């Protein structure tokens, strides 16, 4: 059993303290720096909320596209990029759709962490 508070709630508490107590006192570069730190804290908080699911789904999707188990996601992404550049997926419609589906999934997962407001804006 996990002790309270969790890392996620500690991040939220620290972010709230910066936003409510520190940020109003700052101007210029110092204010920009605190906003940047708050944004980084929000990203980490969203990563904690999501857990490993986005990474696992990307790994599984890459394995299907490449036709082999994926142990190094970065290398698998490089391989996929090379396959796309070489036109490997251009002739088979089903493979092209699978690549587009994968890229959309990965892009949405990354936006969900880094800038979820973009996803919300695209729905409206």
pLDDT value, residue 33:
97
* Count of C-beta atoms within a 10 Å radius of residue 116: 14
pLDDT value, residue 2:
63
CA 123 to chain centroid, in Å, comes to 18
pLDDT value, residue 1:
59
Residues of the chain under the 70 pLDDT cut: 1-2, 124
Domains of the chain by residue range: 7-50, 53-123
pLDDT value, residue 66:
97
Which of left, alpha, beta for 26 (phi over 0: left; psi -120 to 50: alpha)?
A: beta
Cα separation, 20 vs 40, in Å, equals 17
């Amino acid at each position: 059993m996990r002790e309270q508070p969790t890392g996620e709630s500690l991040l939220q508490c620290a972010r709230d303290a910066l936003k409510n107590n520190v940020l109003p006192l700052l101007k210029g570069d110092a204010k920009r720096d605190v906003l940047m730190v708050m944004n980084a804290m929000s990203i980490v908080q969203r990563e904690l909320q999501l857990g490993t699911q986005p990474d696992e789904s990307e790994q599984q999707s890459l394995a299907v596209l490449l036709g082999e188990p994926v142990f190094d996601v970065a290398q698998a992404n490089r391989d996929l990029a090379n396959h796309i550049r070489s036109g490997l997926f251009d002739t088979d419609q089903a493979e092209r759709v699978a690549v587009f589906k994968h890229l959309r999934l990965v892009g949405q997962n990354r936006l969900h962490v880094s800038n979820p407001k973009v996803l919300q804006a695209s729905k409206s």
